[in-house]
Chain A
Amino acid sequence: MKGNEALAHAAIRYGADGYFGYPITPQSEVLEVLEEQRPWETTGMVVLQAESELAAINMVYGGAACGKVVFTSSSSPGISLMQEGISYIAASEVPALIVNVMRGGPGLGTIHPSQADYFQAVKGGGHGDYHLIVLAPSSVQEMCDFMWLGWDLAFKYRTPAMLLADGLVGQMMEKVVLPEPRPRRTEEQVREQCPWAINGRKGMRPRNVITSLELVDEIMEQNNLRFQRTYREIEKNEVRYETIDTEDCDYLFVAFGSMARICQKVMEVAREEGIKIGLLRPITLWPFPSQQIKEAAKNVKGIMVVELSAGQMIEDVKLAVECNVDVKHYGRFGGIVPTPEEVLDALKKQFAINK
Chain B
Amino acid sequence: MDIQDIIKPENRVYKKPELLNDTHMHYCPGCSHGVVHKLVAEVIEEMGAAEIAIGIAPVGCAVFAYNYIDVDWIEAPHGRAPALATAAKRLQPDKLVFTYQGDGDMAAIGTAESLHAANRGENIAMIFINNAIYGMTGGQMAPTTLLGMKTSTTPYGRRADLNGYPLAITGLMAQLDGTCYVTRQSVETPAAVRKAKVAIRKAFENSLQGKGTSVVEIVSTCNSGWKMTPADANKWMEENMFKKYPIGDLKNE
A and B in direct contact, judged by CB atoms within 8 A? yes
Which A residues lie at the B interface, using CB under 8 A? 17-18, 20, 46, 48, 50-52, 54-56, 58-63, 65-66, 68, 70, 84-85, 88, 187, 198-204, 207-213
**B90 at interface (Cβ–Cβ under 8 A)?**
yes
Q: How far is the CA of A59 from the CA of B86 in the complex (A)?
A: 7
Mostly, the A contact residues are mixed
| CB-defined contacts of B84 to chain A, threshold 8 Å | 58-59, 61-62, 65
CB of B66 within 8 Å of the partner chain: yes
Q: Which of B52, B83, B85, B112 is in CB contact (< 8 Å) with A200?
A: B52
Determine if B88 and A207 form an interchain contact, defined as CB atoms under 8 angstroms apart.
no
Interface pair B91/A198, CB less than 8 Å apart: no
A58 near B80: Cβ-Cβ < 8 Å: yes
Beta-carbon contact of A200 and B95 below 8 Å = yes
In the complex, the answer to whether B88 meets A63 with C-beta atoms within 8 Å is yes
Do A199 and B73 touch (CB < 8 A)? no
Q: List, sorted by A's number, 8 A–B pairs whose CB atoms are closer than 8 Å.
A: A17-B91, A54-B113, A62-B87, A66-B92, A68-B91, A85-B80, A199-B92, A209-B72
- Rounded to whole angstroms, the CA-CA distance of A68 and B87 in the bound complex is 10
A314 to chain B, nearest CB (A): 34
Query: Would you list the 7 A-B pairs with minimal beta carbon distance, nearest first?
Result: A62-B84, A62-B87, A211-B75, A58-B83, A58-B80, A63-B87, A51-B116
Besides A63-B88, A85-B80, A204-B51, 12 more A-B contacts (Cβ < 8 Å) are: A46-B91, A51-B116, A54-B83, A61-B83, A62-B85, A62-B87, A198-B73, A199-B95, A200-B72, A200-B95, A201-B72, A207-B73
Instruction: Provide the residues of chain A in CB contact with B88, threshold 8 Å.
Output: 62-63, 65-66, 198
Tell me if B54 counts as interface (CB < 8 A to partner A): yes
- Complex CA–CA separation, A213 to B57 (angstroms): 11
A347 to chain B, nearest CB (A): 46
Q: Which B positions have Cβ atoms within 8 angstroms of A?
A: 50-54, 56-57, 63-64, 66, 70-77, 80, 83-88, 90-92, 95, 112-113, 116
**How far is it, in angstroms, between the C-alpha of A270 and the C-alpha of B54 when the chains are bound?**
61
Q: How far is the CA of A306 from the CA of B219 in the complex (A)?
A: 60
B74 close to A51 (CB less than 8 A): no
Contacts A58-B80, A62-B87; A201 near B51 (Cβ below 8 A): yes
Q: Are the C-beta atoms of A85 and B51 separated by less than 8 Å?
A: no
Establish whether residues B90 and A65, one from each chain, have CB atoms under 8 Å apart when the complex forms: no
Q: Which residue of B lies closest to A199 (CB)?
A: B92
Are A210 and B75 neighbours in the complex by a CB distance under 8 Å?
yes
A59 with B92: CB separation less than 8 A: no
Cβ of B26 to closest chain A Cβ, rounded Å? 10
Closest B residue by C-beta to A89? B77
Query: What residues of A have a CB within 8 angstroms of the CB of B72 in the complex?
Result: 198-201, 207-209
Contacts of B75 in A (CB 8 A): 209-213
Asked whether A55 lies within 8 Å of B83 as measured between CB atoms, the reply is: yes
In the complex, A85 Cα to B77 Cα: how many Å?
7
Residue on B nearest A40 in the bound complex, by CB: B90
Across the interface, A88 reaches (CB within 8 A) one of B54, B56, B77, B113, namely B77
Partner among B73, B76, B85 whose Cβ is within 8 Å of the Cβ of A209: B73
Compute how far the CA of A113 lies from the CA of B91 in the bound complex, rounded to whole angstroms.
34
Contact (A209, B66) CB under 8 Å given A46-B91, A55-B80, A68-B91: yes
- Enumerate chain A residues within 8 angstroms of B85, measured Cβ to Cβ: 62
Q: Quick one: closest B residue to A210, CB to CB?
A: B74
Q: How far is the CA of A66 from the CA of B90 in the complex (A)?
A: 11
Find out whether the CB atom of A200 lies under 8 angstroms from the CB atom of B54.
Answer: yes
**Contact with A211, one of B66, B71, B116 (Cβ below 8 angstroms):** B66
| B residues less than 8 Å from A59 (CB atoms) | 83-84, 86-87
Partner of A65, one of B53, B64, B74, B112: B74
CA distance A121 to B71 in the complex (A): 35
Task: Please name the residue on chain A nearest to B71 by beta carbon.
Answer: A207
B77 touches A200 (CB 8 A): no
